[in-house]
Amino acid sequence: MLSTTSDMEAVQAWIQARVGSKITAKTYLREARRLLLWLQYERQGSKLADMRIGDCTAYLASCRTSRPTGFLAPARCLVSRDGRPFAANSATTATGRLS
């Protein structure tokens, strides 16, 4: 059993314990963040431990759509002017830097 206080801590501990490549770790972390955001917005704040098979199926289906549900913005958009991650109104420029 992990002794973590949040889903993100659990994800980071899992990645640290099992991934050797920094590139792979970065990719896993990006995908885990995407899943956690999906849980937050599509499953009203559910935690990883609360996920059921139906949630997994719904998440995978949302990954297959050409335009994910409303909580994800274009890939380069990381932080909006009002501090919300992945919001369409971004403070990042075309180069990915904050304006």
pLDDT at 68: 53
Q: How confident is the model at residue 23 (pLDDT cuts 50, 70, 90)?
A: very high
Q: How confident is the model at residue 10 (pLDDT cuts 50, 70, 90)?
A: very high
Which has more confidence, 79 or 70? Answer: 70
| In the block, residue with structure tokens 């949302």 | 62
pLDDT at 53: 95
Helix (H) or strand (E) holding 57: helix 53-64
Contact 38, 62 (CB under 8 A): yes
Burial tier of 23 (Cβ tally within 10 Å: 0-12, 13-18, 19+): exposed
Which has more confidence, 10 or 78? Answer: 10
pTM of the model: 0.64
In 19-52, which ranges are continuous DSSP H helix?
A: 22-42
pLDDT at 65: 78
Closest CA to 9 of 36, 34, 27: 36
- The three-class DSSP label of residue 96 is coil
pLDDT beyond 60 at 21: yes
